[in-house]
Amino acid sequence: MGSCRPLILEDCLDGRVVKFSDNNHWQLTVKISEKPWDGSWDSEREEYEDWQPHEAHAVYECRQIRGSNVGTVAIMKIRLEVPRHLPPSDDPKERAKDASGMRLNDATDNEIKILQRLTNARCSVTPSLLGFKIDVQDSSVLNSTGKPGFEEEWGENKQWWMPGGYIAYILMTKLHAQPLDIQLYWNDKTFGRQQRDEVRRAFRAAYLELRGLGVSHHDQRLENLMWNRAEQKCYIIDMECADYDPNRSTKDVKMSDYQLCAWNLVRHWAEPNW
């Protein structure tokens, strides 16, 4: 496999304006995170991922610049189909042969469906879905300069532009909470035992609410939790690896201390280092 420049999404997404079907226009403002696709993956997942559309994705803060609530700040996740054969061909017609025909990656499709279900159920511990949009990467789509097309604005990234591939925009409410991670959570100078206990209690309530709505989250790590200490509220985010069980009832929902360990909220579930 030859070498190629890794896709850097901010080069082609910063400042982009996305128009949704309700005629609300949202502009991407601040990049929160990015997972570029460079052609590498875990060999244990290769068989699974080989038949999935390959993606790069980024999460942005965005602001409504036209519509019913101008000035509102929200979160937008962008998931972009990219060529599966590397290095990508310089010929757009060759790259187009890899396009999925607008068939979404399972993770993208799942995230949208789970967020829809939780939003309809008025879940209080996850972001609400404000809207989503699936575009095709072709010359009919406006770029951030207002001119038609993708390739013109992609510069050095143009080999990743995939004619006929999809670009998915998932618009969610912005949670007024602090992202968690291992370094922050287990640093006694910034996050002592008392606050960790507060997070654990709030997480238990969030976990039980989510499970009570039939949803199980399988990407269990601190980075998928957010914390609002003033409101003693824990939020669970990133639903691409969640699933829904329509037969689960509220009375069946329980939570063991093992879940605290799985989410890195304690060191060991049997003999916890709190």
* Structure tokens, 12: 């082609």
Would you say residue 164 has pLDDT above 80? yes
Spatial separation of the C-alpha atoms in residues 211 and 244, rounded to whole Å: 9
**CA proximity to 160, closest of 17, 272, 13, 24:** 13
Q: Are 36 and 8 in contact (CB under 8 A)?
A: yes
Q: 190 or 28: which carries more pLDDT confidence? A: 28
Residue with tokens 């060759």: 94
Mean pLDDT of 34-49: 54
Spatial separation of the C-alpha atoms in residues 166 and 241, rounded to whole Å: 20
Residue 256 CA, chain-centre distance (Å), reads 27
Would you say residue 41 has pLDDT above 50? no
Lowest mean pLDDT among 3-12, 76-85, 111-120: 3-12
> Which pLDDT score is estimated for 139?
59
> Which pLDDT score is estimated for 251?
62
- Integer angstrom CA distances of residue 258 from 34, 161, 265, 267: 30, 44, 10, 10
190-217 core/surface letters (b: 16 or more CB in 10 A; e: else): ebeeeebeebbebbbebbebbbbbbbeb
Name 193's Cβ contacts closer than 8 Å, sequence gap at least 6.
Answer: 274
Mean pLDDT computed over every residue of the chain: 84
Q: Are 58 and 10 in contact (CB under 8 A)?
A: yes
Lowest mean pLDDT among 36-50, 63-77, 153-167, 223-237: 36-50
Q: 229 or 52: which carries more pLDDT confidence? A: 229
> Which pLDDT score is estimated for 43?
39
Stated as kind and residue range, the H or E segment containing 92 is helix 92-96
* Structure tokens, 62: 């965005």
Q: Are 11 and 49 in contact (CB under 8 A)?
A: no
* Structure tokens, 138: 């072709």
Rounded to a whole number of angstroms, the CA Rg of the chain reads 20
Would you say residue 46 has pLDDT above 60? no
**Residue 74 pLDDT level (bands cut at 50, 70, 90):** very high
Residue type, 182: I
Select, from the ranges 6-20, 146-160, 219-233, the one with the highest average predicted confidence (pLDDT). Answer: 219-233
Would you say residue 1 has pLDDT above 50? no
* Structure tokens, 245: 């069980």
**Residue 211 pLDDT level (bands cut at 50, 70, 90):** very high
Report the alpha-carbon angle 187-193-196, nearest 5. 80
Q: Is the Cα dihedral 20, 22, 25, 28 positive or negative?
A: negative
Name 86's Cβ contacts closer than 8 Å, sequence gap at least 6.
Answer: 1, 2, 4, 39
